[in-house]
Amino acid sequence: MPCETIVLRDEHGSVIGGRIICSSDRRATCRFCRALKRSRPARYLCDGVRDTSTCNAPLCEGHALEVGPDQHLCPPCDRARATPLVVARFE
């Protein structure tokens, strides 16, 4: 989300100050839509596990893959899941 600049003016129209308001809740926008310069509200958090922690990427309905009751994966976690645990070595 872009930050919003608020310009404060006095009664003569002179700029007396400004303020930058950044989106207070970054989780409210889908991470993958944001990468595409779109902004769609996130409805889910990714339940994929990366290493030892949960991914927790905010996801919109379009990017959340439902894998179980209240279990959703983001596209990279879905791909990681589909990849065999033993990664083939290219030599």
Distance of alpha carbon 72 from alpha carbon 32, whole angstroms: 14
From 29, 44, 46, 58, residue interacting with Zn ion (rule: CB under 5 A): 46
Span from 7-15, 17-25, 52-60, 81-89 in contact with Zn ion (CB under 5 A) = 52-60
Distance of alpha carbon 81 from alpha carbon 12, whole angstroms: 61
Q: Which two tokens stand for residue 78?
A: 């879905």
64 binds Zn ion (CB under 5 A): no
Binding residues vs Zn ion (CB under 5 A): 30, 32-33, 46, 48, 55, 57, 60, 62-63, 74, 77
